Amino acid sequence: MLDFHLGAPLGKRVVVAGGGLSGCDAALEIAEKGHEVTLVEMLDEIARDMLITNRITLLRQLAERGVKVLTGRTITAIEEGAVVAQGPNGREEIAADSVVAAFGVLPATELTEALRQRYGARVHPVGDCVKPRKVGDAVNDAYALALTL
């Protein structure tokens, strides 16, 4: 979960740093709320690990919402009113009132640990409690686990 999901205020111009699934979803959600969004990714493309049909839909939705996508750029600084990036044409400043860092996520282990302390071995974590991945992976893991119980 990113801070803006918890109510952190966003300015009109938002830069989302990171073009993985988390960053792309955040950029789309923020754009749908009326913000001007620029998505910055250091690799040559965004949402690389999505299935192609889902990726095409996501790219279309980002374009429809006016999200500006900048790939091949490394963010080097965040300054008052701008994000500084190094890209194919050298240094560039990207206007920003707010920056959302979406560089990836860690496993959500807090609930698993609390349940394990209370119930011991009867807790079997799957999905993002083990490793952040896609919903289908969590469903497959849960199915495989259920077969062993």
Q: What is the pLDDT of residues 9-36, one digit of tens each?
A: 999 999 999 999 889 999 999 999 999 9
* DSSP H or E segment with residue 132: none
pLDDT of residue 67: 98
pLDDT of residue 32: 97
Residues 45 and 117 both lie in one domain: no
pTM for this prediction: 0.76
Residues 93 and 37 both lie in one domain: yes
Identify the domain containing residue 121 by its residue range.
Answer: 110-148
pLDDT of residue 62: 98
Look at the chain and report how many structural domains it folds into: 2
pLDDT higher than 80, residue 121: no
SS3 43: coil
